[in-house]
């Protein structure tokens, strides 16, 4: 994923250079109107990607996350021609573990412990805030604004699923052990592409795609008396978001 981020950054720089040369070649009478800073709200879908959505018990990075709703605010401050500093603050819900997820995890622990059986009880959901900031470059075509942005910031989790496991028939593991819900904060990075349609009077319609990746929060487990089976210590998070919004220029 870091390679993808590097390629996106390189592509952004190439497009900036190309567009800057094109702007230099324009006649003064053809110069585009000065871009205005803007602020807006949005809503849409946040999709779990990569390991975050995986339901592979043997993959300790698998998050069993789901697609959910995302709401947020977005804006940019133009400081030089088409260059701006953009920001996004969003709140997303990536769902909880389903009955089938519980069964997958239960069967995995039963096999690893060579147990008579196991019972898995999951609680809470993936809920988090993203706070991202980064450089932005804007292309203009008639009433359309195309924004490219590379971002970095943080994911603040307000909850992750907790998973309680009760193993039967294994003296080495007495009692229930629990993968605890986390409220950890982790570094995040990514990028976004959007198009804004100028409706006039300083109002734009927004269609935006966000990509966010993070190593995720630290996860702790309590109650273990044996180290057999799946042990999660970090929960990587990768999100792809498609959102619609309304923007006001100022």
Give the angle 243-239-55 at the CA atoms, nearest 5°: 130
b/e sequence 153-172, b meaning 16+ C-beta within 10 Å: bbbbbebbbbbbbbbeebee
Mean pLDDT per 10-residue interval, the chain, length 250 residues: 51 52 47 82 99 98 98 98 98 98 98 97 98 98 97 99 97 95 98 97 98 98 96 98 98
Cα–Cα distance for residue pair 218/68, rounded to 1 Å: 22
The answer to whether 154 and 183 are in contact (CB under 8 A) is: no
CATH number of 157's domain: 2.40.160.20
Alpha-carbon distance of 190 to 199, in angstroms, equals: 29
The pLDDT value recorded for residue 174 is 86
pLDDT at 13: 55
SS (H, E, C) 207-219: EEEEEEEECCCEC
pLDDT score, position 10: 54
Model confidence, pTM = 0.85
Domain count within the chain = 1
Two tokens at 159?
């909850």
CA distance 13 to 75: 21
Question: What is the pLDDT at residue 26?
Answer: 47
Strand locations in 24-126 (E): 38-48, 68-80, 83-93, 117-123
Q: Tell me the residue range of the domain where 219 lies.
A: 2-24+31-249
CB-count exposure of residue 26 (10 Å: 0-12, 13-18, 19+)? exposed
């Amino acid at each position: 994923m870091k390679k993808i981020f590097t390629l996106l950054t390189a592509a952004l720089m190439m497009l900036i250079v190309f567009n800057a040369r094109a702007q230099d070649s324009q006649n003064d009478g053809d110069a585009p109107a000065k871009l205005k800073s803007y602020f807006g709200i949005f809503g849409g879908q946040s999709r779990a990607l990569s390991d975050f959505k995986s339901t592979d018990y043997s993959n300790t990075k698998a998050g069993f996350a789901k697609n959910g709703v995302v709401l947020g605010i977005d804006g940019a401050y133009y400081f030089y021609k088409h260059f701006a500093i953009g920001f996004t603050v969003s709140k997303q819900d990536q769902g909880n573990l389903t009955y089938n997820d519980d069964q997958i995890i239960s069967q995995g622990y039963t096999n690893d412990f060579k147990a008579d059986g196991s019972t898995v009880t999951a609680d809470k959901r993936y809920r988090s805030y993203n706070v991202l900031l980064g450089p932005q470059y804007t292309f203009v075509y008639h009433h359309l604004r195309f924004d490219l942005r590379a971002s970095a910031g943080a994911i603040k989790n307000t909850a992750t699923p907790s998973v309680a496991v009760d193993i039967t028939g294994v003296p080495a593991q007495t009692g229930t052990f629990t993968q605890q819900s986390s409220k950890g904060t982790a570094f995040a990075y990514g990028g976004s592409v959007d198009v804004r349609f100028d409706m006039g009077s300083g109002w734009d319609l927004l269609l935006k795609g966000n990509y966010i990746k993070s190593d995720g929060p630290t996860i702790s487990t309590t109650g273990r008396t044996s180290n057999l089976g799946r042990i999660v210590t970090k929960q990587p998070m990768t999100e792809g978001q498609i959102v619609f919004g309304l923007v006001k220029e100022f």
